Amino acid sequence: MLQSLTSAVVVQDTASMHALGVRLAAMFVPGDVIALEGVMGAGKTTLVQGIAWGLGLPQDQYAQSPSYAVAISYPTTPVLHHLDLYRFLENINIADIDAYLSSTDVTIVEWPQALYEHKEIVKYTISIEMLNFENAAERPCMRTVSVYDYSTMSYLDLKGIV
């Protein structure tokens, strides 16, 4: 179930995170670079799964965490590149990932701190925050998801998306 707040949505389960990703995918266009923030276990790859489905990845295929591969590309329209820069938080040259920053593709970057030195290439930042993290073992952990649009310098009103 998704519940809208002012500029964020509350996501209560995996299916809702997938559904939000599918809806968000509709606003992405070729050339978009999306920074994806959230602690480990926040649901970043789960959201990317929904985005991949929204861009045309068949429903029987699943996005995987690129933590070990660093980058995974999916045969969607446009092509979706999913990067995880956790191992390079303090030491990455933007030229090292330039091949994934194509004007014909959509790129989502987890652990995007290195990108913030080059904010001109980032279109959106999606932030996932865990609301009841300390009680996650006792009940499902709810999350809030917000989207910051650098072209308008404001948070998107997600009411129309949910």
Q: Which pLDDT band holds residue 3 (cuts at 50, 70, 90)?
A: very low
pLDDT at 2: 44
Of 98, 60, 54, the C-alpha closest to 80 is 54
Cα 74 from Cα 81, distance rounded (Å): 6
In angstroms, the Cα distances linking 132 to 10, 44, 119, 144 are 12, 17, 31, 10
Q: Alpha-carbon dihedral of residues 38, 41, 45, 47, nearest 10 degrees?
A: -70
Residue-averaged pLDDT of the chain: 85
Work out the average pLDDT over 144-152: 91
3-class secondary structure, 129 = strand
Q: Are 143 and 116 in contact (CB under 8 A)?
A: no
Residue among 119, 109, 114 nearest 34 (CA)? 109
pLDDT digits (tens, 9 = 90+) for 69-79: 788 999 999 99
Tell me what pLDDT residue 79 has.
96
Confidence bin at 4 (pLDDT 50/70/90): very low
Rounded CA gap, 139 and 15, in Å? 16
At the topology level, CATH places domain 2-160 in Rossmann fold (3.40.50)
Domain ranges for the chain: 2-160
| Omega cis (within 30) before 112 | no
pLDDT digits (tens, 9 = 90+) for 52-97: 999 999 999 988 888 777 889 999 999 999 998 887 766 666 777 7
pLDDT per residue as tens digits for the range 13-54: 899 999 999 999 999 999 999 999 999 889 999 999 999 999
Q: Quick one: how many helices (H) and strands (E) in the chain?
A: 2, 9
